[in-house]
C-alpha cells in the first residue's frame, strides 16, 4: 500500500485542485449550472475567513509552546525511552493522540517534533525504525482524537450562542449545547481512552523492521539533521537566547520595552485572570473556540514573557501555517460548491435517512468521514452538515451531545487520507505526503471496524 501511494499520491495542493473538479462535476450531475457552480466556488473562498484565522491561531499558538526550548528538551529525553522501532512508533502516536485532546495545534507540532527527535535518537542508537511511520504517529492526534478534545470545532461551536437560533443553520436548537454534554461527557472520554489504546497497538503492529525500516537519514540530509544538535539542547538554546536578549535590553529605551518581562508577564497574567473570571461566571459555557485560542495565546506569552522573544517564535510559526493559509480558501471553495449546490445536505440526509436510534452514531461517523474528504475543516464542515446531523438526531431521539461526538470522529478519521492538515508536520519532519500516507491509510482501514463497534456499543 505504501508503494502504491508513494507512486500515485499528488501534492496536497494538487489534491485540493483535483477535489475541486470532482465536486464541480458532482454539482453538474445534481442539476446546478456551470455558472452557478463557479459563483458558489467564488463565494465559498471568502465565507469562513474569520474561522480560518481561528484555525491559524490554534496552530500557531500550539507551535510556539511546543517549540519552547524546555519543552523541546523534554521531547529529546523522551525519545531515548523506546528500545525498538515498534515501541518508538507506538510512543510517538501515544503522545500525539493524548496531546490532541488538549490542543490539536499543539499535538500536530509537538507530534512532528517528537517524530523528528525520535528518528534522530534511533539513528544515533542504531535502532531499526521506519521514519514515515513515526510521522504517521505524530499525525494520529489529528487523525483520531482531536475532535473529542478541548479544541474540538463542532462541540465548541455549539457552545457559542451566536451559532444558535434564528438566522443560523442551527435555528431549531432552543439553547446552546454545553461542553459537559460533548467534550467532558463520559461517552466522549471513554471513546477517547479506548481509541488511544487501540491506535497505539496498531502503530506497534504496523512497524516494519530490518531492511524494510528506513531511518530518518533516508529522508533528511544527515548534515542538516545533526548540525543544530547544540542549538537544539534546551539549556544551550535558552542560555544563548537569554544572553542575546539581555545584551539588547540595555541598549535603548525601545529595546528595554521590547524585552521587558514585566510588560509581557503582566498582560499574560491579566489574560489568565479574565479567562478564569469567565469560567467562574459562566461555568463550562465559557468554553468556546475563542476561549481556547485566548488561553493558549496567553499561556505562550506567560512562558516566554519577553514580548520580542514571543514575537520571534510567532514568526517561526508562520512558516508552518503557510500551507494552510494557501489551501484553506480552496477547500472553502469546495465547501461553497457543496453547500450552494446542496451536495452536503444531500449527502447527510441520504445517509441519516437509513439510520435508527441504535445505528445513528455509526451513520453520523460515516457522514463526517465522507464530508471531511472534500472539506477538511471540522468547523466549516459542521456549519454546513451539522444542522442535518442534529435535525436527524432530534427526530430519532438521540442526544445532541452523542450525535456531535459521533460525527466528530468521522471528521478526524479521514484526515488519515487527506494530507491537508499534515502540511506543518511534513515541513518539520522532512517527509513527503506520499511517503507517509500509505501507512496512514493502513491505520485508517484498521480503525474502521474498531470505531464501528465502539460507537455502537458504548452507551451515552
Please tell me the distance from the alpha carbon of residue 138 to that of residue 104, in angstroms, as a whole number.
Answer: 11
- 349: number of Cβ within 10 Å: 16
**What crossing angle do the helices spanning 307-340 and 360-374 adopt, rounded to 10°?**
100
The closest alpha carbon to 107, from 118, 96, 116, 117, belongs to: 96
Q: Where are the domains of the chain?
A: 2-227+261-457
Q: E strand or H helix at 266, and its extent? A: helix 261-282
Other C-beta atoms closer than 10 Å to the C-beta of 434 total 18
Please say if the pLDDT value at position 289 is more than 50.
yes
What pLDDT shows up at residue 431?
93
Count of CB atoms situated within 10 Å of the CB of 209: 13
CB-based contact 122:88 (threshold 8 Å):
yes
Task: Provide the percentage of residues in the chain whose pLDDT is more than 70.
Answer: 92
CA dist 266 and 302 (Å) reads 9
pLDDT of 107 reads 87
Q: How far apart are CA 321 and CA 328, in angstroms?
A: 10
Give the mean pLDDT of 219-246.
60
What's residue 434's pLDDT?
92
- For 247, other C-beta atoms within 10 Å of its C-beta total 11
Q: Quick one: pLDDT at residue 411?
A: 93
Higher pLDDT, 100 or 236: 100
What's the pLDDT at 46? Answer: 80
Helix axes 49-66, 69-78, angle to 10 degrees: 70
Lowest mean pLDDT among 8-17, 107-116, 322-331: 322-331
Between these two residues, 202 and 343, which has the higher pLDDT value?
A: 202
- On the question of pLDDT at 234 being above 70, the answer is no
Residue 249 vs residue 173, higher pLDDT? 173
What would the 3-class secondary structure string for 95-156 be? HHHHHHHHCHHHHHHHHHHHHHHHHHHHHHCCCCCCHHHHHHHHHHHHHHHHHHCCCCHHHH
pLDDT tens digits, one per residue of 138-188: 999 999 999 999 888 899 888 877 777 666 678 888 888 999 999 999 999
**pLDDT attached to residue 12:** 82
Grid coordinates of 56: 491559524
CB 380 within 8 A of CB 344: no
Exposure class string for 271-286: b at 16+ Cβ within 10 A, else e = bbeebeebeeeeeebb
Chain CA centroid to CA 323, Å: 14
Residue 74, pLDDT above cutoff 50: yes
pLDDT exceeds cutoff 80 at 66: no
pLDDT in tens, 302-316: 988 888 888 888 888
Amino acid at each position: 500500500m505504501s508503494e502504491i501511494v508513494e507512486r500515485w499520491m499528488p501534492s496536497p495542493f494538487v489534491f485540493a485542485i483535483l477535489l475541486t473538479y470532482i465536486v464541480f462535476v458532482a454539482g453538474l450531475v445534481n442539476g446546478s449550472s456551470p455558472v452557478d457552480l463557479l459563483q458558489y466556488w467564488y463565494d465559498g473562498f471568502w465565507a469562513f475567513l474569520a474561522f480560518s484565522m481561528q484555525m491559524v491561531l490554534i496552530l500557531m499558538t500550539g507551535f510556539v509552546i511546543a517549540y519552547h526550548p524546555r519543552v523541546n528538551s523534554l521531547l529529546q529525553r523522551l525519545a531515548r525511552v523506546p528500545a525498538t522501532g515498534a515501541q518508538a512508533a507506538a510512543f510517538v502516536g501515544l503522545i500525539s493522540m493524548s496531546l490532541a485532546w488538549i490542543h490539536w495545534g499543539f499535538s500536530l507540532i509537538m507530534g512532528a517534533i517528537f517524530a523528528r527527535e525520535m528518528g534522530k535518537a534511533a539513528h544515533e542508537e542504531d535502532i531499526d525504525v521506519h521514519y514515515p511511520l513515526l510521522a504517521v504517529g505524530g499525525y494520529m492526534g489529528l487523525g483520531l482524537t482531536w475532535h473529542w478534545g478541548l479544541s474540538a470545532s463542532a462541540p465548541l461551536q455549539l457552545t457559542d450562542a451566536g451559532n444558535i437560533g434564528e438566522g443560523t443553520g442551527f435555528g431549531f436548537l432552543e439553547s446552546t449545547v454545553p461542553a459537559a454534554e460533548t467534550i467532558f461527557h463520559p461517552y466522549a472520554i471513554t471513546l477517547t481512552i479506548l481509541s488511544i489504546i487501540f491506535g497505539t497497538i496498531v502503530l506497534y503492529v504496523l512497524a516494519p523492521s530490518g531492511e524494510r525500516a528506513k531511518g530518518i537519514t533516508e529522508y533528511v540530509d544527515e548534515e542538516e539533521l545533526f548540525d543544530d544538535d547544540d542549538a537544539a539542547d534546551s539549556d544551550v538554546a535558552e542560555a544563548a537566547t537569554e544572553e542575546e536578549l539581555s545584551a539588547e535590553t540595555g541598549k535603548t529605551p525601545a529595546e528595554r520595552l521590547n524585552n521587558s518581562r514585566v510588560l509581557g508577564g503582566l498582560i499574560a497574567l491579566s489574560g489568565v485572570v479574565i479567562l478564569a473570571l469567565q469560567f467562574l461566571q459562566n461555568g463550562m459555557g465559557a468554553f468556546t473556540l475563542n476561549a481556547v485560542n485566548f488561553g493558549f495565546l496567553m499561556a505562550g506569552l506567560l512562558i516566554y514573557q519577553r514580548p520580542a522573544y514571543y514575537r520571534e517564535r510567532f514568526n517561526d510559526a508562520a512558516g508552518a501555517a503557510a500551507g494552510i493559509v494557501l489551501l484553506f480558501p480552496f477547500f472553502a471553495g469546495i465547501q461553497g460548491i457543496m453547500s450552494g449546490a446542496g451536495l452536503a445536505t444531500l449527502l447527510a440526509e441520504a445517509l441519516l435517512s437509513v439510520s435508527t436510534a441504535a445505528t445513528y452514531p455509526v451513520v453520523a461517523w460515516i457522514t463526517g468521514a465522507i464530508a471531511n474528504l472534500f472539506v477538511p475543516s471540522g468547523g466549516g464542515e459542521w456549519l454546513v452538515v451539522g444542522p442535518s446531523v442534529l435535525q436527524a438526531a432530534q427526530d430519532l431521539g438521540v442526544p445532541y451531545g452523542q450525535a456531535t461526538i459521533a460525527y466528530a470522529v468521522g471528521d478526524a478519521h479521514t484526515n488519515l487520507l487527506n494530507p491537508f492538515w499534515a502540511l506543518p508536520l511534513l515541513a518539520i519532519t522532512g517527509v513527503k505526503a506520499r511517503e507517509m500516507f500509505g501507512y496512514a491509510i493502513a491505520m485508517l482501514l484498521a480503525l474502521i471496524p474498531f470505531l464501528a463497534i465502539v460507537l455502537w456499543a458504548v452507551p451515552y
